[in-house]
Amino acid sequence: MLKKKVEDAINKQIQEELYSAYLYLSMSAYFSNKGLAGFANWFDVQQKEERDHAMKFYNYLLAHGSKVKLLKIDEPGHEWKSAIDVFKAGLKHEQHITECINNLVDIAEKEKDRATFNLLQWYIDEQVEEEENARTIIEKLSLIKTDSNGIFMLDKELSARVYVPLVIA
């Protein structure tokens, strides 16, 4: 069984990951409403990946005979000013998640919990990728500005993103 402090912190992180899924699902809907199916697809893949992140923690708790306590999930917001505004909000959120993961690492270290510390290495690597993905699209969108041809091309590019389910141990 995990120590109570670790168990509580992981339950809190499950909430953070599920909120992320909720936020990206809302962003996906925002783009669907605007007729940008590629952007919508990108966020749909993103929200599915977030559910996997939550489930990886969920299974980890159960594997240790610890308790899963699902917490309340806030409303994610429904309106953004522009496509770049959506990705900037997404990046800001990912930076917050990186901070959460780093705090979890601190707790695992303090509690001398090697297994949780090892699990978190996967999330640390994942966060580098998550922030980089958002940053790359923000850079593209700042070059495109309001050029509709550029938006159309990027929409096509983002439609190619495919969801690959995470193999959860």
- Compute CA distances 38 → 13, 41, 140, whole Å: 29, 5, 15
Residues 97-116 touching ligand FEO, rule: CB under 6 A, are 97
Residue selected from 7, 17, 44, 155 as contacting ligand FEO according to rule CB under 6 A: 17
Q: How many residues bind ligand FEO (CB under 6 A)?
A: 7
Distance separating the N- and C-terminal Cα atoms of the chain:
17
Nearest approach, Cβ of 130 to ligand FEO (angstroms)? 4
Interaction between residue 51 and ligand FEO (CB under 6 A): no
Identity (one letter) of the amino acid at 15?
A: Q
Q: What are phi and psi of 87, to 5 degrees?
A: -70, -35
Q: What is the DSSP letter of 82?
A: S
Nearest approach, Cβ of 70 to ligand FEO (angstroms)? 16
Binding letters toward ligand FEO, positions 74-93, x by CB under 6 A: --------------------
Residues 6+ apart with CB under 8 A from 88: 138
- Name the residues that contact ligand FEO, by CB under 6 A: 17, 20, 50, 53, 94, 97, 130
